[in-house]
Amino acid sequence: MNTMDEDIYKIKANRYHFCFLESVKNAFSFLEESFGFQIMSTEVTFVRYESERMFVNVYHGRISYEIGVEVGCLRADAPERGYRLPDVLGAVLNETHHQNSYYLQASTQENVRSCVETAADLVKQHYGPILGDNAAVWQKIKAFTSKRDEEYTRKGVNQPIRKSAELAWQKKNLSKVAELYASIRADLTPVEEKRLEYAKKQISTHR
């Protein structure tokens, strides 16, 4: 047994007392009763449901201890993609900035049961059109996550530019300040916008 296999074995051995599998089977039984899903695979930290066209994964993060739900379409012609609970609810409820409120984490048996039940209740309340494979809702989810991914990427690209602009501001290098802030103008904060306008004005005055 290699080191990775040993680590996985230890994680599984330490998780049985959380009774995650039993909690999921109880709380998510409505998937089988109302939507035609069947349990296709189970592990101590993972349960997978499938219908004819969709899958639902319920998991207990091995490192993060997150209680999570992924839902996606079964397609033979494309890689499988699961959409997480915060992203789905953010799209369905138009709550762009509240995804973290749907992040569930549990490290005791009682908390695991409670968080699994909370996740199941959220799915019951808001996933009906999704589990019914409503094309319009799926399009909304895909658009939401695509926009979110673009924002994350843009933040990652902009961060070093912001740091360089801050350093240039401290050194009173206004031409560099103007150049750097102008390159990310669409994403400037009000303070950064004021700095850009000030730098441009000073540069123009001293020409």
Q: Which tens digit of pLDDT belongs to each residue from 10-38?
A: 555 577 889 999 999 999 999 999 999 99
Q: Is 145 part of a structural domain of the chain?
A: no
The whole-number pLDDT of residue 6 equals 46
Q: Is 186 part of a structural domain of the chain?
A: yes
Cα separation, 3 vs 14, in Å, equals 17
The whole-number pLDDT of residue 126 equals 92
* Distant-in-sequence, close-in-space partners of 43: CB < 8 Å, separation ≥ 6: 12, 21
Q: Is 43 part of a structural domain of the chain?
A: yes
Q: Is 139 part of a structural domain of the chain?
A: no
Least Cα distance to 65 among 24, 124, 129, 115 occurs for: 115
pTM: 0.71
- Hey, what are 144's tokens? 């939401």
- The whole domain housing 73 covers 3-133
Least Cα distance to 36 among 54, 14, 9, 11 occurs for: 54
In tens, the pLDDT along 147-183 reads 877 877 888 888 888 889 888 899 889 888 888 888 8
Q: Is 24 part of a structural domain of the chain?
A: yes
Cα separation, 131 vs 71, in Å, equals 9
Q: Which long-range contacts (CB under 8 A, 24 or more apart) does 180-185 make?
A: 184/158
Residues 104 and 193 in one domain: no
Q: Is 69 part of a structural domain of the chain?
A: yes
